[in-house]
């Protein structure tokens, strides 16, 4: 499952004394050679959270003006928005936003942007659109904290609230969170050991030896269908919001049967 593998990757990164600090969908990828394995990439914003010589955790700190930290504002933790030094808990909170966004098809603040120019009644001459966008998204995250989890399986709320309640130096219970999502997978009737094949929902069209189809499958398992086909080109993807389709996606792509 996607959630379990992402937790695996974060646990490994953290076990090396490193924080990723930019957890988002674009930084989790699947290779063509092992498409059922999720990999984590882009350590451009990564930072050590332990001193290399004595292993001590970096001290807690916060920007005096609560200026936002680093990362991607859509998925950054609330602590990062308030200028608090990043810890392992913040990578987990970003992962929670990412998974919730997958299930919901997006996050409520995904279109929030500050204007390039300050509003007419802005009291200061200083105006940074990037900082203002971070601030606007922070406000939206605080307002949407309850509604964000409404209608979702409780496991997503547990992950989010757990990450939010961890203290700065706390060691997350990665295995407990993995068991949480394995339980969700079992309850919903799908497990990695028995991945259901994609469900075709459109007519297949053959063009130059390649079959173009539309099908539905579970999030994070789009390419696990390698057992019977190979995705040649991903043309479109949309989150399936029909009843009973929780955790699934609709994919339009080009397939080529395995030889």
The predicted model gives 43-68 an average pLDDT of 91
- List the end-to-end C-alpha distance of the chain, in Å, as a whole number: 27
User: In this model, does residue 42 exceed pLDDT 60?
Assistant: yes
* Residue 247, pLDDT score: 42
Choosing from 142, 167, 188, the residue where a domain stops is: 188
Nearest-Å Rg of the Cα atoms of the chain is 20
The predicted model gives 13-26 an average pLDDT of 95
Residues of the chain above pLDDT 70, percent: 73
Choosing from 159, 188, 217, the residue where a domain stops is: 188
* Residue 149, pLDDT score: 93
**Of 23, 79, 78, which Cα lies nearest the Cα of 46?**
23
Structure tokens at 240: 């399936």
Report pTM: 0.74
Number of domains present in the structure of the chain: 2
Looking at the DSSP bridge assignments, the partners of residue 62 are 84
CATH for 65:
1.10.510.10
Judge if 213 and 115 occupy the same domain.
no
Residue 123, number of CB atoms within 10 A of its CB: 6
User: In this model, does residue 14 exceed pLDDT 90?
Assistant: yes
Choosing from 188, 210, 243, the residue where a domain stops is: 188
**Of 253, 237, 234, 215, which Cα lies nearest the Cα of 105?**
237
When pLDDT is cut at 50, 70 and 90, the band that residue 216 belongs to is: very low
Judge if 9 and 116 occupy the same domain.
yes
| Residue 222 included in any domain | yes
- Do 75 and 109 touch, CB atoms closer than 8 A? no
| Residue 194 included in any domain | no
Averaged pLDDT of the chain: 78
Residue 138 lies in domain: 2-188
| Residue 116 included in any domain | yes
β-bridge pairing 199-200 and 205-207 = unpaired
Judge if 25 and 131 occupy the same domain.
yes
Judge if 51 and 147 occupy the same domain.
yes
Judge if 36 and 99 occupy the same domain.
yes
- Do 50 and 56 touch, CB atoms closer than 8 A? yes
Q: What positions carry a catalytic annotation?
A: 22
The predicted model gives 25-53 an average pLDDT of 88
Judge if 32 and 147 occupy the same domain.
yes
User: In this model, does residue 236 exceed pLDDT 50?
Assistant: no
SS3 at position 121? coil
The predicted model gives 99-115 an average pLDDT of 92
Q: 99-103, 213-217, 227-231: which has the minimum mean pLDDT? A: 227-231
């Amino acid at each position: 499952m996607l959630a379990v593998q992402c937790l695996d990757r974060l646990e490994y990164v953290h076990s090396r004394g490193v924080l990723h600090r930019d957890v988002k969908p674009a930084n989790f990828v699947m290779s063509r050679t092992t498409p059922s394995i999720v990999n984590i990439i882009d350590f451009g914003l990564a930072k050590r959270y332990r001193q290399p010589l004595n292993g001590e955790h970096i001290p807690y700190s916060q920007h005096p003006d609560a200026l936002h930290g680093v990362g991607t504002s859509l998925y950054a933790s609330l602590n990062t928005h308030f200028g608090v030094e990043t810890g392992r808990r913040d990578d987990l909170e970003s992962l929670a936003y990412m998974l919730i966004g997958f299930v919901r098809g997006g996050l409520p603040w995904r279109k929030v942007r500050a204007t390039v120019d300050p509003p007419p009644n802005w009291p200061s001459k200083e105006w940074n659109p990037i900082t203002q966008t971070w601030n606007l998204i922070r406000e939206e995250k605080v307002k949407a904290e309850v509604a964000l989890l409404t209608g979702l399986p409780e496991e997503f709320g547990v992950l989010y609230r757990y990450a939010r309640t961890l203290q700065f130096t706390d060691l997350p219970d990665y295995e407990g969170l993995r068991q949480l999502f394995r339980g969700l997978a079992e309850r919903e009737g799908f497990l990695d050991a028995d991945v259901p094949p994609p469900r075709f929902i459109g007519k297949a069209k053959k063009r130059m030896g390649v079959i173009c189809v539309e099908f539905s499958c579970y999030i994070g398992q789009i390419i696990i269908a390698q057992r019977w086909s190979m995705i040649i080109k991903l043309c479109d993807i949309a989150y399936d919001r029909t009843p009973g389709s929780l955790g699934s996606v609709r994919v339009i792509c080009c397939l080529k049967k395995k030889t």
